[in-house]
Structure 1
């Protein structure tokens, strides 16, 4: 059974995928208390530390933790296109470089680095890859879409899957591990009726929201449910169909669900439990801590569980084959 240390662990959505594959978290670190509380609630046997990684001594922690895998999801705010026109913060970006001392101290066979694809355009990306290679690791630089692994979300991310024993892994090697159908946004929508919707057309409704809705209605026709998409660069009219995977979940409320009652359109925001389903975490994963806004942020900062499950399944397959 693979044991892993989880840096920038968030609420444990990536860890949920690893655990689903049969791995065990032994140590998790995050600087946000709501993230570490959530992680501990879901994985009580792991040691969970609330701290920036630069304030900890990886060599001291390595005396008590001997992982097979170092799983990392460095802060991606300054790499992400979702940040819009805000200036980049180099300190935020350099959290990725901060994983190298942990790699040196803990000497795991495997290293996984997850981030947005735009990280590849960062000036120090090559430095990070070369640092990892200089420690004796084969670096497999992969670009994976969560929808290809059974998550009902089109979330494209970079994954560096690195092996000290030199294994080569491709996107196709991982994709073949999921033989199911692509899941749509419709599959995440709560059908119990517990969330209240309000009429779309009200005096306080923003004009931009109404224009998004009207473009969708013009395309789909009346009586068809759909999702309004807020924030981020949008080239699809500010809406999406429920019959395709949800677009990328971010740390802000981004998705409004439009439904119909007697030919009248109603609107509500997607809720954290629906976003959690979009992350593919499964019913066993819970978000018991924080405000609604905190829970949305935990989902937006997370790693889609089915992708991490596929990666760990591949690592386990390689180890079982004696490679």
Structure 2
């Protein structure tokens, strides 16, 4: 059974996928207390530490935790296009370089680094790759979209899947492991009426919101439900069809659902349980800590579970094949 240490663990969405593949978390670290609490609720068998990784001594922790896989998701805020015009924070970006002492101390066979693909534009990205390779790793640089793995969300992320034994892993290798069809945004919606909507054309509604909705109505016609997409890089008029996977969840409310009561359009925001479905974590995953805004942030910071599940399945497949050859 594979064991893993989870740096920048967040609420454990990536870990959920690893566990589905049969792996076991033994140590998880995050600087946000609420994320650490959420992780502990989901994986009580793991040691969970709330701290920035630079405040810890990996050599001491390595005395009780030597994982097969070091799973890392360094801060992506200053790499992401979703940050808009905010100033870049080099300290945030350099958390990626901060994983090197953990590689040295824990000496894992496997290393996974997950981040937004724009991380490749960072001036120290090549330094990170070269440093990882200097420890003997084969670095497989993969751009993976969660929607390609049956997740009802279009979420493209860079995954560096690194093996000290030189395994070459491709997208096609991972695609072969999953048998899931594409899921639409409609599949995550709670249609029970539990969440109340208000008329689109109500007093105080932002004009930009109304314009987004009207662009969709002009395209789809009346009595067709759709999703309004707020802020960020948008090339589709500020809305999307329910027939496609949900666009990328961010750390702030981004999606409003427009439905109809006869000829009248109504609007509400998507709720955390719906966003949870879009992360692909499944019904077993708990999101009980924090308020609504916190839960949205946990989802926006997360790794879609089905993608990590397939990566860990591939790792397990490789090691199983090695064991069979050895015997």
Task: Give TM-score scaled by structure 2 length.
Answer: 0.98
Unpaired segments ≥5 residues, structure 1: none
Corresponding residue for residue 283 of structure 2: 283
Query: How far does residue 87 in structure 1 lie from its aligned partner after superposition?
Result: 1.1
> C-alpha distance in 1, partners of 2:215/2:138?
48
Corresponding residue for residue 224 of structure 1: 224
> C-alpha distance in 2, partners of 1:22/1:260?
44
- Matched position secondary structure for 1:28: strand
> C-alpha distance in 2, partners of 1:66/1:233?
41
Corresponding residue for residue 92 of structure 1: 92
- Matched position secondary structure for 2:71: strand
> C-alpha distance in 2, partners of 1:217/1:176?
39
Cα deviation 1:66-116 (Å, max 9, x = unaligned): 100000000000000000011111110000000000001000110000000
Corresponding residue for residue 23 of structure 1: 23
1:1-323 matches, within 5 Å, as: 1-322=1-322
8 Å CA contact retained: 1:148, 1:178: no
Query: How far does residue 233 in structure 1 lie from its aligned partner after superposition?
Result: 1.0
Q: CA RMSD for the aligned pairs? A: 0.6
Question: Size of the alignment, in residue pairs?
Answer: 323
> C-alpha distance in 2, partners of 1:236/1:177?
32
Query: How far does residue 193 in structure 1 lie from its aligned partner after superposition?
Result: 1.3
Task: Give TM-score scaled by structure 1 length.
Answer: 0.99
Cα deviation 1:22-42 (Å, max 9, x = unaligned): 000000000000100000000
> C-alpha distance in 2, partners of 1:277/1:286?
12
Cα deviation 1:191-210 (Å, max 9, x = unaligned): 22110000110111000000
8 Å CA contact retained: 1:226, 1:242: yes
> C-alpha distance in 2, partners of 1:251/1:86?
15
8 Å CA contact retained: 1:78, 1:90: yes
Cα deviation 1:183-226 (Å, max 9, x = unaligned): 00000001221100001101110000000000000000100000
Query: How far does residue 248 in structure 1 lie from its aligned partner after superposition?
Result: 0.1
Unpaired segments ≥5 residues, structure 2: none
